[in-house]
Amino acid sequence: MGDVVIRVLAVVTAICCLSAVPAYAADDGTEKLFTFRDPAITESSGLAVSPTHDGVFYTHNDSSASPAFYAVDGKGRTKAAFQVQGAQARDWEAMAATKEPETGRGVLWFADIGDNLDGAWPDISVYRVMEPQTLRSTTLPATRYRFRYADGARNAEGLMINPRTGRLYVVSKEFAGSVYAAPKKLRTGRTNILRKVASAPLMATDAAYAPDGSSYVIRTYFSATLYQPSGETIAKVPMPELEQAESITYTADGTALLAGSEGPRSPVYRVPLPDRATPT
């Protein structure tokens, strides 16, 4: 998306976000966690904490990139780069990380859900990749799930998975955004239908579920909003000023958010959560 369009949308978002929703003022606990050092990471659009490797974070680039992702340590240094076999990277916009209940192995999900023409693609895809047990650059196979919205194609940049139920959700990026739920059981042999289950903030750029499933977060260019699984608002959390705020996830312990941005050598910030939204 062009810089001029982004600035216009950002101003509109800022105006529209002045609502009666309870706000949480970021305190001195907000800190820059690291900066991506790898020159190959130019448009960090998705962010996730490794479910099995301590201190490891995953990211991927936005559109016009190969189907690849990166494992990064707590100082922003790339530990490994992975190509995803059998995948396309039409417009990767988000990712999520979960654990297999049966084996405890990590699972990474990559969402090829961007559609800047709001209907250019007849369907969208999410790729499921088993998290590598060894952080060494290689090619990994993927399982592809195709999706279609029940109420028509649209642009989206948010992906989240409820760790309690395993259900996948896509969050659309629109002036009247929505949260869409996938079927309980995903199938590879046919297109899975996404159905609207809740509203989302204007121009949402990412989303994530808390590690314990007690809440989820949706972010925009300026702020993030916390929700109960029912869709009821908990609080708004101001975000640090970023060049192009694109990614968000929870820390492994669920007490803070990690917020990232596109651009070369982009930073990742740690933003504490209000007490009422942290695990007890």
Residue 18 inside a domain? The answer is no
Residue pLDDT, tens place only, 148-200:
999 999 999 999 999 999 999 999 999 999 999 999 999 999 999 999 999 99
Distance of CA 120 to the CA centre of its chain: 22
HSE-CB of 111 using CA atoms within 13 angstroms: 31
Which stretch of DSSP H or E encloses residue 132? none
Counting Cβ atoms within 10 Å, is residue 179 exposed (0-12), middle (13-18) or buried (19+)?
A: buried
Residue-wise pLDDT for 100-131, tens only, equals: 999 999 999 999 999 988 778 889 999 999 99
Strand residue runs (E) in 15-87: 31-35, 46-49, 57-60, 68-72, 78-85
In a domain, 182, yes or no: yes
Confidence of residue 28 (pLDDT cuts 50, 70, 90): low
Note the pLDDT of residue 24: 42
Amino acid at 153: A
Q: How far is CA 151 from the centre of its chain?
A: 22
Q: Tokens 């706000």 — which residue?
A: 23
60 within some domain: yes
User: What whole-number percentage of the chain has pLDDT above 70?
Assistant: 88
With the C-alpha atoms ordered 8, 9, 14, 16, is the resulting torsion angle positive or negative?
A: positive
115, 90 contact by CB (below 8 A): no
Is 265 part of a structural domain of the chain? yes
* Token pair 């695990």: residue: 279
Radius of gyration of the chain (CA): 17
pLDDT band at 277 (very low <50, low <70, confident <90, very high): low
CATH number of residue 186's parent domain: 2.120.10.30
46-55, 59-68, 109-118: which range is least confident on average?
59-68
Q: Does residue 279 belong to any structural domain of this protein?
A: no
Length of the chain equals: 280
Spell out the alpha helix ranges (H) of 63-124: none
- Mean pLDDT of all residues in the chain? 89
Residue 3 vs residue 104, higher pLDDT: 104
Identify the domain containing residue 250 by its residue range: 31-272
Q: Is the pLDDT of residue 91 over 50?
A: yes
Q: What percent of the chain has pLDDT over 90?
A: 77
d(CA 171, CA 176): 11
In a domain, 140, yes or no: yes
Give how many domains the chain has, as a whole number. Answer: 1
Q: Tell me if 21 is assigned to some domain.
A: no
Nearest Cα residue to 250 out of 43, 31, 7, 49: 49
Give the C-alpha separation, 272 to 191, whole Å. Answer: 39
pLDDT, tens only, 196-234: 999 999 999 999 999 999 999 999 998 999 999 999 999
Assigned domain for 17 exists: no
pLDDT at 16: 42
The number of helices, as runs of H, and strands, as runs of E, in the chain is 1, 21
Q: 221: exposed, middle or buried (C-beta count within 10 Å: 0-12, 13-18, 19+)?
A: buried
Burial class from Cβ neighbours inside 10 Å (0-12, 13-18, 19+) for residue 246 reads buried
How far is the CA of 247 from the CAs of 94, 118, 266, in angstroms?
7, 20, 11
11 pLDDT more than 60: no
Cut 0.75: pTM above it: yes
Q: For the chain, give the longest Cα–Cα distance.
A: 50
pLDDT reported for residue 6: 45
